[in-house]
Amino acid sequence: MILLQLIINGLLLGGVYVLISIGLTLIFGVVRVINFAHGELLMISMYISYFAYAMLGLHPYASILISVPFMFIIGMVIDRIIIKPLREAPSYMQIFVTVGLSIALLNMALFLFTGDYQSINLPLAKKTINAGSLSISYARVVIFLTSLAVSAGLFLFLKKTDIGKQIRAIAQDRMAAQLVGINLNKLYTLSFGIGSALVAIAGALILPIYYVFPSVGSYFVLTAFVVVVLGGLGNTMGAILGGFIIGVADSLSGYYIDPSLKELVYFIIFLVVLLIRPSGLMGIVGAEEMGLK
């Protein structure tokens, strides 16, 4: 029974990771930039939802109406101003610039909001669903279901809509996509916006159960990297698989090994995956060698 509870906890936690990682992997898959400031985008979203609650009394789930459009625009602005001039630059320049963005955003938050941990006290956070001896957090079930819904939505968007098809075309072959008349820059910017908007959903949904503080992003972003590399950088379905695997690994190792060593477990999984199959579980083999042109 403990095992079942642990696996359920792991899957629910995996939902959190999926929701946070899916935007990161979309941005990488399309724009080919590893956004080191992804964690800070999460942090900003959480603060938006936090202030919407603290000042306007808006329920975090409702604050998505504000934070999603806001982050969508922020994402597009970041791409236009910072990433676009470096599109053709070597990858280390893109890494440096997003690292710089991450440092700047994190410390701007530290300056504006101080380093204090903030949380909202919602009865929702403590609500559980009990089935037999199993106890399941209500807020986490919401996250879990949303992560599935968001993944399905993104999948349908990429599969069915014209823009989605164009985005997939770019992800597969930039050059060919350009040759058939797809406006690359427009879609890069759009994808960056969508990736950031997806983080906003994560930010709002995890607010009831996590503290918000300026460096909350750095706490999550490393896990997000593990998740997306495990699934295959750029592969949205891979991010879902990776998220659930890491969630379950986290939950099991926290119980059976040691709570303080669970991070070690998934960093070791991360290294092993990078070394044995750097393309990830669902990525294209060889992508990491070709440098993904």
Partner 1 sequence: MKLRGKNQIKVYATIGSILIFIGLVFVSTNSFYLNILFTIFMFAGISSAWNIIGGFAGQLSLGHSAFYGLGAYTCGLLLVKLGIPPILGIWASIILASLLAIIIGYPCFRLRGPFFTLATIAVGEVLLILAVNMKTVTAGSEGLSIPFHPSLYNLSFQTKTPYALLGLLFMLISLSAAYIIKKTRLGYELVALRDEDQAAESLGVNTTRAKIVALIISAAITALGGGIYAQYVLFLEPHSEFSLATSVNFAMISMVGGLGTLMGPVIGAFILIPLQEFLRAWLGGASQGLYFFIYGVLLILVVMFMPQGIIHFCARPFNKLMQRFSLPEEEFPSHIGTLYEARQVLTKNKQLVTNDMPNEEILKVESVSKRFGGITAVNNVSLSVRKGEILGIIGPNGAGKSTLFNLLSGVYKPDSGLIIYNGITISEIHKSHIICRLGIGRTFQIVKPFENITVLENVMVGSFCRTNSVQKAKRLALELISIAGLMEKKDYICHSLTLADKKRLEVARALATQPTILLLDEVMAGLTTSEVEEAIKWIRMIRELGITIIVVEHVMQAIMSLSDRIMVMAEGKKIAEGPPAEIIHNPLVIKAYLGDEYETPSA
Q: Which of residues 156-215 bind partner 1 (CB under 8 A)?
A: 214
* Min separation Cβ 286 and partner 1, Å: 11
Half-sphere exposure of 9 toward its Cβ, with a 13 Å CA cutoff? Answer: 15
State the Cα–Cα distance between residues 171 and 36, nearest whole angstrom: 20
Backbone dihedral angles phi then psi of residue 134, each to the nearest 5 degrees: -85, 140
For residue 237, state whether it binds partner 1 (rule: CB under 8 A): no
Say whether residue 107 binds partner 1 (CB under 8 A).
yes
The residue range among 62-70, 108-116, 156-164, 200-208 that interacts with partner 1, by the rule CB under 8 A, is 108-116
Among 65, 69, 73, 115, the residue binding partner 1 under the rule CB under 8 A is 115
Among 105, 204, 207, 227, binds partner 1 (CB under 8 A): 105
Report the C-alpha gap between 164 and 198 in whole angstroms. Answer: 15
Among 3, 114, 134, 183, binds partner 1 (CB under 8 A): 114
Of the pair 114, 161, the CB lying nearest partner 1 is at 114
The helix (H) or strand (E) run that includes residue 137 is strand 134-137
Q: Does 91 bind partner 1 (CB under 8 A)?
A: yes
- Site for partner 1 contains 257 (CB under 8 A): no
Q: Which of 239, 217, 292 is nearest to 14 (CA)?
A: 239
Out of 5, 118, 119, 218, the only residue in the binding site for partner 1 (CB under 8 A) is 218
Contact flag: residue 87 with partner 1 (CB under 8 A): no
User: In this chain, which of 121, 130, 133, 260 binds partner 1, going by CB under 8 A?
Assistant: 260
Cα angle for residues 206, 159, 285 (degrees, 5° grid): 85
Which of 28, 64, 36 shows the shortest CA–CA distance to 192? 28
In degrees rounded to 5, what are phi and psi of residue 75? -60, -45
Closest to partner 1 by CB, 69 vs 115, is 115
The contacts of residue 204 (CB under 8 Å, 6+ apart) are 45, 46, 48, 49, 60, 61, 63, 64, 67
SS3 (DSSP) at 119? coil
In the complex with partner 1, which residue's Cβ is closer, 146 or 189?
189
In the complex, the smallest distance separating the C-beta of residue 97 from partner 1, rounded to whole angstroms, is: 4
Q: For residues 27 and 33, is the Cβ–Cβ distance under 8 A?
A: yes
Out of 123, 132, 181, 291, name the contact with partner 1 by CB under 8 A: 291
Contact residues for partner 1, defined by CB under 8 A: 34, 82, 85-86, 89-93, 95-97, 99-111, 114-115, 214, 218, 222, 225-226, 229, 233, 258, 260-261, 263-264, 267-268, 270-271, 274-275, 278, 288-289, 291-292
